[in-house]
Structure 1
């Protein structure tokens, strides 16, 4: 794992100068109602800075995916403060949540590609939310992004014609084609063998650093910890930092 290049004083100064991509303070979350109400997140506090790659580890059922859905404005914030890209999500209006979602890229364990669309068409879908692009411009951007992930010869292939690693590369291209400021990845390597998984996360790291976006990636794969700037660990709905190796 790469050591931080800044000492603590310099890091604190940088954090004060630049608004965090994510700032969570006292976030609690519950499922169910009445006697069935169960708390699943407890007093979550953390910050993600611009350009960071942070891994989120922890056992199944510890609340990692729930936290990701809150960060992606896919679930309502119930208690505490959660600021994403400068916007408070708790109590935010629907239009605000839509704007946040447009600036977030999502990569999941299941690639979620539409089987009836080609690789390029799947990637273009992520651009349809952005006004001002002609169909030709969107196609060119999609093809350029597929080339960046090494699939320039698979632009017109359908998902069933691609391997698991290639499908996940298409999913990465779709997540990054609109140059999001934040990428949320939920176990993107879980369905891949070790070689393909390593290739996928290395590619994510390279492209994200080129674009200057922040990545928060849920993973159980200890073999990819070295790509991270930091590791956060979740246990029973509580978040803690892991020491740098």
Structure 2
């Protein structure tokens, strides 16, 4: 029996617009295995970011079920907070680094709110991540001393610090040029594969789609085309 890190089962999202209903997602289903790197593509307004927000316990669905690991999300928002803290890592369009913390402290902040309080274990894991991402020698640098690509690599390390079941990346290359954007996605793929995590990336950048395992296209709220690079 296949074990999935993330399952979306018949997810719909409907907004009331005056007397009309606007269906953003229409019975979307998706399953992602550990170690699988998935891309979601489609035109603006097609429901990509809404789907990612529902998968990340940031937004409720109108219908359907979200299962992360062995946890089914319900309407208990306190449960959502725990799931986000323990099971999900987020990478956003902007790195959203804290300007007065150096790279090491950015990661230690995640350690402090994690369920695992073993400081030495976290420090060793942080160093391993930074080494994998080519940042270990920059551990004491502050964000204003980093390039755009380096800042986004720190954001990748931060997303993996809580050892999540699922990584969700929302347009992680949007603020980067082509070569830097590709490097960032290569880094995400490297850590996903090494740690056997599941990852979903929403993107408009078709130049990086060869780096993912499966490509889903959303249009008009429906997933209706699937391509596999596996």
* Fold shared, TM-score > 0.5 on shorter chain: yes
Residue deviations 1:109-147 (CA, integer Å, cap 9, x gap): 111111121111112222222234254544443333222
Shift of 1:98: 2.5
Match of 2:209 in 1: 225
Residue 174 in structure 1 maps to residue 126 in structure 2: no
1:53 and 1:188 map into 2 onto residues whose CA distance is 14
1:138 and 1:21 map into 2 onto residues whose CA distance is 23
Check the 8 A contact 2:36/2:192 in 1, yes or no: no
**Structure 1 runs, 4 residues or longer, greater than 6 Å off:** none
Match of 1:97 in 2: 80
2:6 and 2:116 map into 1 onto residues whose CA distance is 28
What's the secondary structure of 1:40's corresponding residue?
strand
What's the secondary structure of 2:3's corresponding residue?
coil
Residue 133 in structure 1 maps to residue 117 in structure 2: yes
1:110 to 84, 87, 94: 94
1:76 and 1:18 map into 2 onto residues whose CA distance is 26
Match of 2:183 in 1: 199
2:66 and 2:108 map into 1 onto residues whose CA distance is 30
Q: Please, what is the CA RMSD of the aligned residues?
A: 1.9
Shift of 1:235: 0.9
Equivalence map 1:18-97=2 (5 Å): 18-32=2-16, 34-35=18-19, 37-91=21-75, 93-97=76-80
1:59 and 1:125 map into 2 onto residues whose CA distance is 36
What's the secondary structure of 1:243's corresponding residue?
strand
Shift of 1:158: 1.2
TM-score, normalisation: structure 1: 0.86
Number of matched residues? 228
Structure 2: any 5+ residue segments left out of the alignment?
A: none
TM-score, normalisation: structure 2: 0.91
> Measured at CA, do residues 34 and 229 of structure 1 come closer, stay the same or move farther in structure 2, by a change above 3 Å?
same
2:10 and 2:162 map into 1 onto residues whose CA distance is 31
Check the 8 A contact 2:56/2:168 in 1, yes or no: yes
